[in-house]
Each structure stands twice: as structure tokens, then as C-alpha cells.
A and B are shown apart, each in its own frame.
Chain A
Amino acid sequence: NAGVMQNPRHLVRRRGQEARLRCSPVKGHSHVYWYRQLPEEGLKFMVYLQKENIIDESGMPKERFSAEFPKEGPSILRIQQVVRGDSAAYFCASSSANYGYTFGSGTRLTVV
């Protein structure tokens, strides 16, 4: 499977717990993007990373959210102390240049 792999597909967390969302980009892609889709809304940009660097995190909430894309391994989006408003679908995309995104199937986070 040469596509973007996201796991888990579904994640349930209680309020106050931590959520870790993983994204393995297409082989050879060094650019990773995270988007969030709230119910009945479009996708909203969160963060853009290249290997070991955050390029643009202007769409990511300043508190509780962090993202990394280490030299080895998948990109991780981490949400600490989750609240009900964090319930959403989180999509990762990768590319090898400025355009040509491939999206993963998303992680659906439910906070109970």
C-alpha cells in the first residue's frame, strides 16, 4: 500500500486524557500536513512539517496540541488533556513537492 497510513482509524478518549495520532507518509514524501474536520465543516489546516522541522503551525491551537515528524518513524499529532471540542476527524496528507497532496483516511477522535 503506497498511500498515507493513519492510525488508529478510530480513537475514543475520556476528557483529560492524551490522544496520539500517527501518520506514515507516502514512501519518499518528506512533507506532512495535518488538517482537522469538525462536524459539518470543511478541513482546516493545522500544521505543516518537513523531516524534523515544523514549517508552519499557524493553524494549530497554542495549547495542548503538538506535532512532530522525526527523522525516523511516523509523524505524530499529540493532543494533551482532551476536551469534547477536540472531537473531530483528523487528516494527514503528504507530498514530495509544493503540490500533489495524498490524504490518508483520517483518525476519528471521540472525546467522551
Chain B
Amino acid sequence: DQQVKQNSPSLSVQEGRISILNCDYTNSMFDYFLWYKKYPAEGPTFLISISSIKDKNEDGRFTVFLNKSAKHLSLHIVPSQPGDSAVYFCAASERTSGSRLTFGEGTQLTVNP
């Protein structure tokens, strides 16, 4: 029962272009969504989040879009940099379950110089 899905295991983009990572969810009770970045042999690092009362949140080069009707969110990185190469995880939570996070499978982003 995969409640959060990232259908693209990998994505390759050129430096300076936009990276778009996608995430779909099935649980309509999710009301908070997060993106994490993970380098090999390290723990996930928080990037950006969005509450279900919003449809967009921006932080520097990172923007997260939420489409509640489609149960879809995306992370845009622009411009992409080689240092952005990592695995990106989408995660979701519902307030009634405390802060337990449900993660997607991850997308490996490679930014080529």
C-alpha cells in the first residue's frame, strides 16, 4: 500500500536548466507535505514543505507546488546546479497521526555540468 509515489526513479538535467520532480499521493487525509534531499551515506536533509492550505511555497531556487484535487505535488529547482545531484524524497503527514511521515521511493536527480 504505497500512499506516496514517486514514479520516476531517476532524472537527468543540464546545469542551469529546470529540474521538476513529481510526487503523487492517495491518502486524502494528508495535510502537510515535505521534500527531503539525501546524499549517499547521509541522512535526509529537509528542503522545503507546504501545508494543504497553500498551493505554492517558494524558497530560493526551490518551489513546491501542490494540486490537492489531483493529489499531486512537484518540486521545481531552477537553475539546477551539479551540487543538487542527490536522491529527492517526497513525504507526507496527517496531523491526526502526529508527525509520522510517509515517504515516496525517491528520485535520483543528476545535474550534468
Cross-chain contact A44 with B103 (CB below 8 angstroms): yes
Interface string of A87-112 (1 = CB under 8 A from B): 00001010100111111111000000
Instruction: Evaluate whether A45 and B99 lie within 8 angstroms (CB atoms) in the complex, with A99-B32, A103-B43, A105-B43 already known.
Output: no
Q: Which residues of B contact A42 (CB under 8 A)?
A: 4, 6, 89, 103-106
Is A63 among interface residues, defined by CB-CB distance under 8 A?
no
Cross-chain contact B99 with A41 (CB below 8 angstroms): no
Q: Name A56's contact: one of B89, B91, B97 (CB within 8 Å).
A: B97
Q: Which residues of B contact A69 (CB under 8 A)?
A: none
Interface size class of B (residues with CB under 8 A): 20 to 34
Residue on B nearest A46 in the bound complex, by CB: B100
How many residues of chain A have a CB within 8 Å of chain B? 27
Residue on B nearest A98 in the bound complex, by CB: B99
Min CB distance, A91 to chain B, in Å?
5
Task: Report how many A-B pairs have Cβ atoms within 8 Å.
Answer: 61
Cross-chain contact B100 with A98 (CB below 8 angstroms): no
Cross-chain contact A101 with B98 (CB below 8 angstroms): no
Min CB distance, A64 to chain B, in Å?
21
Cross-chain contact B98 with A55 (CB below 8 angstroms): yes
Interface string of A41-64 (1 = CB under 8 A from B): 111110010000001100100000
